[in-house]
Amino acid sequence: MTAQILDGKATAAAIKADLVRRVEALKARGVTPGLGTVLVGEDPGSQKYVAGKHRDCAQVGIASIQRELPATATQDEIEAVVRELNEDPHCTGYIVQLPLPKGIDENRILELIDPAKDADGLHPMNLGRLVLNEPAPLPCTPYGVIQLLRQFGVEINGAHVVVVGRGVTIGRSLPLLLTRKSENATVTQCHTGTRDLAAQLRQADIIVAAAGSPHLIKPEDVRPGAAVLDVGVSRDESGRIVGDVHPGVAEVAGWLSPNPGGVGPMTRAQLLVNVVEAAELAADAKGAR
Ligand SMILES: Nc1nc2c(c(=O)[nH]1)N[C@@H](CN(C=O)c1ccc(C(=O)N[C@@H](CCC(=O)O)C(=O)O)cc1)CN2
């Protein structure tokens, strides 16, 4: 068996094409959506992701607001930038690129973001809304996973999904989305404390690997025909991405979301969706006044 590729680039391109129309409609109402990014330090991966986000903005007509601080920036200095973006009327949504340098209290920074401008859906109020099943900006990578599965007709309803990882950007919220009635999956969450990971993986209809552990998922761990989404990012000596999924999995899986080229572009597309939706909500509220 050779897996069908879940092509995130093509799917993200279609989402962006639709956003062009929505951004034009907003501009006709006198609102230009603006994405802000806060980048602290010089991590080459983070720099690349942030640059990609602003390239996407240019493609769909969203204005870009970039704030960069050195790796030596203090908690107070980062918080000052967050407060400034909360007040900036040109910035309709923004993100703080993670991870932040060691010594910075990441949660305190996330809690300071205005929930109405939280383009990542990582503010505790928005994560809480997700728990309560209330409307909220959806965390970008988790929702990118779901959209990719839907786009390629992978059955989520009733599926047993094994999520590997428990980080704040993916692992924590993906099970929340997958167990909503609209998705209706059964989820097992695995992590470094899981006793027999291979035994869990072999039960899965869908595996989402977000551990950041190179080639953790081996072909013999995958049930033939299962869908496998590689969301883990490690880098080799030359800076190239190494995913969580061993290349041999392509011979066993029914579907494979590669890395790069799978969920990464979907993450970026969902970020733009969140920015446009926040701007639409703000425009509606302004019109209603
Ligand atoms: N505030 C946030 N920080 C981080 C998030 C996040 O969602 N919000 N997720 C990751 C990084 N990330 C987004 O910021 C991200 C990861 C990957 C990609 C992407 O397009 N990847 C490409 C490959 C790019 C390359 O060659 O390096 C792909 O997969 O094809 C975009 C965004 C951690 N931080």
Cα distances (Å, whole numbers) of residue 89 to 65, 84, 99, 230: 11, 10, 26, 37
Instruction: State ipTM.
Output: 0.97
Residues touching ligand 1 (Cβ under 6 Å) are 48-49, 52, 95-98, 120, 140-141, 169, 241, 259-261, 264-265, 267-268
Domain 30-115 and domain 140-264, same fold? Reply is yes
Of the residues 118, 120, 205, 244, which is catalytic? 120
Protein residue with its CA nearest to atom 9 in ligand 1: 169
Distance CA(223)–CA(254), nearest Å, equals 9
Which pTM does this prediction carry?
A: 0.96
The residue to mutate among 49, 81, 272, having the most atoms of ligand 1 within 8 angstroms of its beta carbon, is 49
Residue 97 annotated as catalytic? yes
Protein residue with its CA nearest to atom 11 in ligand 1: 49
Q: What pLDDT, on the 0 to 100 scale, is given for residue 142?
A: 98
Q: What pLDDT, on the 0 to 100 scale, is given for residue 288?
A: 61
Distance CA(139)–CA(161), nearest Å, equals 18
Sheet strand arrangement including 63-69: 63-69, 34-40, 93-96
Q: For the chain, which residues make up each domain, given as ranges? A: 30-115, 140-264
- Specify the fold of 140-264: Rossmann fold (3.40.50)
Residue 53 annotated as catalytic? yes
Protein residue with its CA nearest to atom 19 in ligand 1: 264
Query: Strand locations in the chain, DSSP E?
Result: 4-5, 34-40, 63-69, 93-96, 160-164, 186-190, 206-209, 227-230, 234-235, 241-242, 255-257
| pLDDT values of the chain reduced to their tens digit, one per residue, 289 residues | 799 999 999 999 999 999 999 999 999 999 999 999 999 999 999 999 999 999 999 999 999 999 999 999 999 999 999 999 999 999 999 999 999 999 999 999 999 999 999 999 999 999 999 999 999 999 999 999 999 999 999 999 999 999 999 999 999 999 999 999 999 999 999 999 999 999 999 999 999 999 999 999 999 999 999 999 999 999 999 999 999 999 999 999 999 999 999 999 999 999 999 999 999 998 998 876 6
Q: Which residues are annotated as a binding site for NADP(+)?
A: 165-167, 233
> Cα of 199 to ligand 1 centre, how many Å?
29
- 285 CB burial (10 A radius; 0-12, 13-18, 19+): exposed
- The CATH superfamily of 30-115 is Leucine Dehydrogenase, chain A, domain 1 (3.40.50.10860)
Q: What pLDDT, on the 0 to 100 scale, is given for residue 287?
A: 79
